[in-house]
Structure 1
Amino acid sequence: MFFQVSKKTWAFAFAYLSMFALGIADNTRGPLFSDLLSAFKLSNWQGSMSFALASAAGLVGNVSSTYLFKKFNLADTLSGALFIMASGLLLMALAPDFNLYILGAIFFGYSMGLMGVTQTLMINESVQPLNQSKAMSGMHGIYGLSSLVAPLVAAQAPRFIDSWRAAFFVVAAIAFLVALSSVALKAKPNFVVHEVLQEKVDSKKPIKTLFFLGGIFAFYVVAEILVSSRLALYMRTYFQMDLEASSQYVTYFFMFLLFGRLVFALKAFRISLRRQLNISLILSLSFLILGLNVHPFFLVMTGLSMAPFYPLSITYISEQTGIYKRPFLTFAISFQSVCVISMHMGVGYLTDQFGLFYAFGVGIISLVLALVCVNFHPKVFST
């Protein structure tokens, strides 16, 4: 039986619900990493391959979205991505060996890449420009909330099924329920297959503009993921904290991230998007440097300064590109995936060679590059 809701209601409901499912699934993997290594008798490098291959599959999902949008509308694409995510997580939960676990991780990574583009476009095209940053902040506030819930799922799920795999069963069930709901609930009027307005993009070939606008988004994400993924290790390495104490720093980081995004979801600030982006980057750069040289709590504070940047950057790119926002946003998210994969490889090498303190320099460089992209990007189309 199918139920109908307005197109805008469907877009908000399932962009937000799918973001919650994605956030829990994405952030459940970290707490289970040591269990994964023990279960399959892996080295750290071998275990890390599940993250690297999932990220690479996410890039494929980003790129393939361009072709899928020519055949399927946004609603069908999002529903399909949710079913793929649920299948990948279920395979990760059931996998009898590491090869099948990797296959599940690849399905999961592909769905994340495809879902990331679809969610962004769905909100972006359902909201008036003045409210886009608030809507995007709300959606990524949901990600922040799910990031706080994920460690609880990882810790509590084994009480019901005596296995570390229990958490994957739970998050697979969440993704599957959201997927079923997205099929049972129909948008009225229905989403239509997008007619890609590509002629002017192709004729101008704005490669420099693509990379500059994409860099605003991609270089920031590198810095955020670097801090969130390495903060606990940094505290354990340089301050001899145990697992519980170092994890608290990560929790505080996500709490600040959630709080900041909720503020921007509820209130619009009457200053230009470019100025807001600059303030966010300068504060983040300052907190990162202070955190490395004065007190590590400043690293936690980067969560607050970084909070608005992701949704604001999406809105800014849309504002700059107008009717051509789809190819530009798709490229930005794909470029982000490439940069994140490179960051993980580069930070791993720098940590082995020089130490994690110096590897955090990648975050400083990334924020500086994001500042350059914000302030010196060329216009999309000159007349």
Structure 2
Amino acid sequence: MRKIKLSLNDMLLLLVVFGGFLVFGFSENIKGPAIPRMQADFHLDEGQLGLLLALNSLGYLVACSFTSALSRRIGIKWTGVAAFGSMAISGVLMHVASGYGALSASYFLMYIGNGMLEIGLAIMAARIFTRNTGTMMNVAHFFYGLSSIVAPLIAASMMGWHAPGGGELGWRGMYLIMLSLAVLPILPSLWGKFPEEELQTSEAQASYHALLRDPIAWLIVAILSFGVISELAVGSWLVNFLEKAYGWSMGDASGMLSVFFLFFTLARLFLGPVTDRIGYTLSVMIFSAFSGLCSLAAVLIGESGAILFAIAGAGIAPIYPTVMAMVAKRYPRGTDTAITFTVTLMGIASVLGNLFIGYIIEFVRGMFDDSEGGSAPGQLIGLQAGYVFIAGMALLCSVCCIMLYAVLRRRGETV
């Protein structure tokens, strides 16, 4: 009987983890088709869009800074419930947002929920998946990719639905409905029994001091930061790029983003065992280089090479879960602290990365508008410059992996 009870609890925890990643994927990737509509409604330029996305990342960062302490105080269960609840509330606030400030505040709250959720899910997964960690981390994150495949298409379709009061549902109604799905994982959360933090506060503080002095920890932070900037930027900027650079329709551009997430999801499903077999550091080195080269080639080739934007998803997908597996194996004692340290600093990089992309586009476009006397050449080259930056982040991720691999191999500590 005890065995059946434990099995039921394990299933509940898996429902929370997998369901959490499904909701996370929706909340992150419905914004691709919505952003051009928000931009038109509020008359925003690319710099303001970059600032909006940077503020979102700041909300994520704020959540990362307190989630570990919150989970020790109230438990992972209630931390997860609070994360899901804040995401649902942000959908309501987004629906009634009357200006850029209110929209930014709503997005900020959504990303606080996302940050709380990601830290909680990462800690939970690290405790549950103690064997074949790379494979299981990738399978868990597969559900993020699964929802990400359909998120842009669902978002684009829902925005055209007829609302009960007349007119189209629009991006406001779409966000209200999609973020309401965050309520569903609360049900197994309330029923399940969660593993709790075992590390004492003094030990956690000591671990933070040790991590700050550990060059390997900083290299892992750099690897994750560059990889995640490149990954998240695709969901934010690809639809915008294809619409404005090549004149694609919203449906076609959203379809390409969904193809990106198809490659992304299949990679997480099938490449997890590869990471366990050849090692986490070497895997990330190869995958991130592949992604960066695909994105760079897509920009250089032009519209005929647009499929390479999607293929790049196969390389960028395993980076985050594989780095989480790397952290769990590298720091078996104090894994929670190491995850919080790594993901929090990654959040800082995400703030800067989103900000840079928007202003790089604006700056380069301004240069060529002045020199060419027209907006079309400047807009195209500006968008291309922004995407070259995205590709460069993936390549820098690979370079940092080479450095980490060299250090670990010299010490005989490769993971």
**Smaller-chain TM-score bracket:** 0.7 to 0.9
Shift of the 239–88 alpha-carbon distance from structure 1 to 2, 3 Å rule, reads: closer
Change (3 A) 1:193 1:148: same
Q: Deviations over 1:307-365 (max 9, x none)?
A: 22221111112211221322221122122222222112212222122222233332343
- Using the TM superposition, give the Cα deviation of residue 266 of structure 1 relative to its aligned residue in structure 2, in angstroms: 7.3
- Where in structure 2 are the equivalents of 1:14-53 lying within 5 Å? 14-37=16-39, 39=41, 41-44=42-45, 45-46=47-48, 49-53=51-55
Q: Which runs of 5+ in 1 are unaligned?
A: none
1:24 and 1:150 in contact (8 A); partners too: yes
Q: Within 2, Cα distance between the matches of 1:16 and 1:173?
A: 17
1-structure distance, mates of 2:275, 2:222 = 24
- What is the Cα-based RMSD across aligned positions, in Å? 2.8
Separation in 2 of the partners of 1:269 and 1:202?
27
1:108-149, Cα deviation, whole Å (9 max, x unpaired): 11111111111111111111232x222221222211121233
Structure 1 counterpart of 2:362: 352
C-alpha distance 152-364 of structure 1, shift in aligned 2 (>3 A): closer
Q: Give per-residue Cα distances to partners, 1:212-242, cap 9 Å, x unaligned.
A: 1111211111122233433333334443433
Higher normalized helix content (fraction of residues): 2
Corresponding residue number in structure 2 for 1:372: 399
Aligned residue number for residue 374 of structure 2: none
- Alignment of 1:91 with 2:93, yes or no, is yes
Q: Which residue of 1 aligns with 2:196?
A: 192
Residue number among 117, 121, 124 corresponding to 2:123 in the alignment:
121
Aligned to 2:112: 110
The equivalent residue for 1:313 is 323
Aligned partners of 1:152 and 1:239: how far apart in 2? 19
Counterpart amino acid of 1:159? H
Rounded to whole Å, the distance in 2 between the matches of 1:202 and 1:232 is 39
* Percent of aligned pairs sharing the same letter: 18
Q: Secondary structure at the match of 2:195?
A: coil
Tell me if the contact between 1:73 and 1:194 (Cα under 8 Å) persists in the aligned partners.
no
Per the alignment, residue 302 of structure 1 pairs with: 312
What is the CA distance between 1:285 and its match in structure 2?
Answer: 2.8
In the alignment, which residue of structure 2 is the partner of 1:149? 150
Q: Residues 194 and 85 (structure 1 numbering): CA distance in 2 closer, same or farther, change over 3 Å?
A: farther
Instruction: Report the Cα offset of residue 200 of structure 1.
Output: 4.6
Q: Report the residue type matching 2:195 in the other structure.
A: F
Match of 2:300 in 1: 293
1:174 corresponds to which of 160, 177, 181: 181
Whether contact under 8 Å (1:7, 1:191) holds in the other structure is no
> 1:136 maps to which residue?
137
Cα 1:4–1:96 change in 2 (3 A) is farther
Q: Given the two structures, how large is their TM-score scaled by the length of structure 2? A: 0.80
Unaligned residue ranges in structure 2 (runs of 5+) = 365-381
Q: Which moved more, 1:146-155 or 1:71-80?
A: 146-155
